Structure 1
């Protein structure tokens, strides 16, 4: 997906402040943070939305969640707590159509969100 900004980050065409990399997942600092600690965790393989994931993506989705927890530890917000969010499509708040997990920390969050 040459027009996908996250695919271009994975390919090294666009720089990002990386937090962690695995064979299948990359985590980096969000350019427009909404919390003191705000990371994005993405699969290296392009999947546009959560609705586009298939049964074959189960392990990859689990890897995203585990990488989110590791990113929170590396950011120093795991001990006090953090929030993970995955938006799906326009009404769900998705702005980049490459699935990504937001890891937010460093401040208290309220419920319900939004």
Structure 2
């Protein structure tokens, strides 16, 4: 059984969040611990634990996720300078909440995301 998440409560507006966008598929709100001047979480209204759990039936919803991200980037005046979209998957990918979501970050130079050289431990 899939467990409800804090995002489920935000989607239903049982918990306050600064919601920037909501429709029948996607809810977008400001992150409470922003990692950049603009940090928005775009969450699927359907509770899908990870990107590994999406199916062909989720295609419209996933497309909407990206469309909404571009709309919010334009509304926040970061589309021309650039922004980053991140989807984390499971523990090694840095996913903390088991509810599919995308991070939209911008408002300053974000630097490189991946090391240019592989490092061994």
Q: Does 1:96 align with 2:108?
A: no
Q: 2:82 matched to which residue of 1?
A: 81
Unaligned runs of 5+ in 1: none
Structure 1 runs of 4+ off > 3 angstroms? Answer: none
1:87 to partner: Cα distance? 0.3
1:20 to partner: Cα distance? 1.0
Q: Larger radius of gyration, structure 1 or 2?
A: 2
Unaligned runs of 5+ in 2: 116-121
Q: 1:68 matched to which residue of 2?
A: 69
Equivalent residues, number: 114
Alpha carbons 2:4, 2:47 under 8 Å: kept:
no
TM-score (norm 1): 0.93
Structure 2 CA distance for partners of 1:22 and 1:3, relative to 1, 3 Å? closer
Equivalent position SS for 1:110: coil
